[in-house]
């Protein structure tokens, strides 16, 4: 087993070690994100990506950071001008008023609306339509002032991330692509250096255990070292007086902030998601109660015009029921009408720039928490897999030498 007869294996040792370093990193990275669902035989014979498998915990961690340090719902919604919202939705709102009025009248007294004098019809419609924007303005002002009563932002974000595991993957993967590339490339250099050491040790000992042990060590050490170098040191430090190093993630703070802000504003804290959370979330009953109350007040204020006609035809009790039904129907339609103000709301809320500005003000430790939780709890599994792969490749090298 001297050098002359096996020089090919000796020469390839550093390169094989570099390959081990690279492959183990790529495997570790993919194991973080894939597959989205468990593949194999539960509970142990199979695998699910680390992030998807811990979607709820990961989502809760990301959301806590978001709602604690980056986004204050009350501050964000205070940027909406209630009068401007009412102006944005004025035309669809007027159609809703007319539709609801006609629908209720035709439901309770099919012929009554037709026999009412045209002047009375138009007077009622115009008066209610004139008051509708005022009611919307008041509702929006009340919502903005009591946003915690109608919107559970944390519940909304966690629900969306757990429901869409691919979105959770993108949230982490998109902001950490340079870090992932660094992990993979560092494996090549770390592996090559350790491979040179491996070559010397093998040449001196010729022990069959050397190559598997070095393979295992290369897989383990390069994974561990690469993960540490992503986050540490948090501030620039000079080593051996020769070079300065700062964790890759910390060094990219401005770019990470921009990417994270874009992602959150584009896919998570969006107007459709906010509306869905408000309309169907755990606090939606309070919103509908608020809208119904304001609509009821508006109807009460304007119904006096036709009350003599309607009350005589259907009775006072039935008339009260009609007003309640009208309020409920209007409350159902108002939220969908709000969607017409989406473009205005996106610009007014300015979620993206708010997040970017706040992220730049985070401490180094707080900033690290954006990505670190994705690795911390299960990183030992990724390192262990790298070590096993490295050990197996080392054993194959032994077989090549002894064959």
Q: How many CB atoms within 10 Å of residue 39?
A: 12
Residue 202 pLDDT = 74
pLDDT (0 to 100) of residue 1: 47
Q: What would the two tokens of residue 38 be?
A: 């468990």
Q: Which of 14-23, 24-33, 119-128, 313-322 has the least mean pLDDT?
A: 313-322
pLDDT, mean of residues 101-118: 64
Q: Are strands 243-245 and 39-41 parallel, antiparallel or unpaired?
A: unpaired
Q: What is the mean pLDDT of residues 251-261?
A: 86
Which residues are CB-neighbours of 48 under 8 A, at least 6 positions away? Answer: 35, 36, 37, 38, 39
Query: How would residue 260 be classed by pLDDT, with cut points 50, 70 and 90?
Result: confident
pTM of the entire structure? 0.70
388 contact partners, CB below 8 Å, separation of at least 6: 216, 219
Domain layout of the chain by residue ranges: 7-402
pLDDT tens-digit map of 50-94: 788 878 887 888 788 787 888 888 888 888 888 887 787 777 777
Q: Is the pLDDT of residue 112 over 70?
A: no
Predicted confidence (pLDDT) at residue 158 exceeds the cutoff of 80: yes
Q: Which of 68, 56, 74 is nearest to 158 (CA)?
A: 56
Give 238's strand partners. Answer: 244
Question: Of the given ranges (48-52, 84-88, 137-141, 311-315), which has the lowest mean pLDDT?
Answer: 311-315
Helices (H), 117-267: 118-145, 147-150, 153-163, 165-175, 177-205, 210-231, 248-251, 253-263
Q: What is the mean pLDDT of residues 257-274?
A: 84
Q: Which tens digit of pLDDT belongs to each residue from 200-213?
A: 877 777 777 877 88
- Name the pLDDT band for 323 (thresholds 50, 70, 90): low
């Amino acid at each position: 087993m001297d050098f002359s007869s096996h020089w090919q294996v000796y020469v390839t040792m550093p390169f094989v070690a570099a390959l081990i370093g690279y492959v183990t990193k790529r495997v570790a990275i993919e194991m973080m994100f894939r597959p989205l669902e468990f593949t194999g035989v539960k509970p142990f014979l199979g695998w699910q990506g680390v992030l998807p498998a811990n979607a709820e915990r990961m989502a809760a961690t990301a959301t806590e950071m978001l709602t604690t340090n980056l986004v204050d719902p009350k501050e964000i919604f205070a940027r909406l001008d209630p009068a401007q919202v009412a102006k944005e939705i004025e035309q669809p709102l007027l159609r809703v008023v007319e539709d609801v009025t006609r629908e209720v009248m035709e439901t309770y007294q099919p012929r009554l609306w037709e026999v009412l004098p045209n002047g009375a019809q138009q007077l009622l419609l115009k008066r209610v339509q004139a008051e509708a924007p005022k009611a919307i303005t008041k509702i929006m002002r009340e919502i903005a002032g009591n946003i915690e009563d109608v919107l559970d932002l944390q519940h909304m974000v966690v629900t969306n991330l757990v429901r869409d595991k691919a979105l959770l993957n993108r949230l982490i993967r998109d902001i950490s692509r340079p870090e992932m590339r660094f992990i993979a490339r560092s494996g090549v250099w770390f592996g090559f250096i350790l491979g040179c050491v491996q070559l010397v040790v093998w040449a001196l000992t010729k022990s069959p255990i050397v190559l598997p042990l070095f393979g295992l060590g290369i897989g383990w050490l390069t994974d561990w070292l690469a993960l540490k170098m992503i986050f540490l040191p948090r501030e620039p430090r000079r080593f051996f007086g020769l070079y300065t190093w700062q964790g890759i993630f910390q060094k990219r703070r401005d770019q990470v902030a921009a990417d994270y802000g874009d992602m959150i504003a584009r896919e998570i804290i969006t107007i459709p998601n906010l509306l869905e959370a408000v309309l169907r979330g755990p606090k939606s009953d309070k919103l509908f109660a608020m809208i119904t109350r304001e609509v009821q007040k508006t109807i009460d204020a304007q119904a006096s015009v036709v009350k003599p006609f309607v009350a005589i035809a259907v009775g006072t009790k039935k008339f009260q029921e009609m007003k309640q039904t009208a309020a409920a129907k209007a409350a159902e339609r108002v939220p969908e009408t709000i969607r017409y103000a989406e473009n205005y709301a996106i610009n007014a809320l300015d979620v993206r720039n708010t997040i970017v500005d706040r992220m730049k003000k985070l401490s180094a430790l707080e900033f690290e928490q954006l990505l670190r939780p994705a690795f911390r709890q299960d990183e030992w599994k990724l390192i262990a897999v790298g070590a096993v792969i490295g050990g197996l490749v080392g054993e194959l090298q032994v077989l090549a030498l002894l064959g």
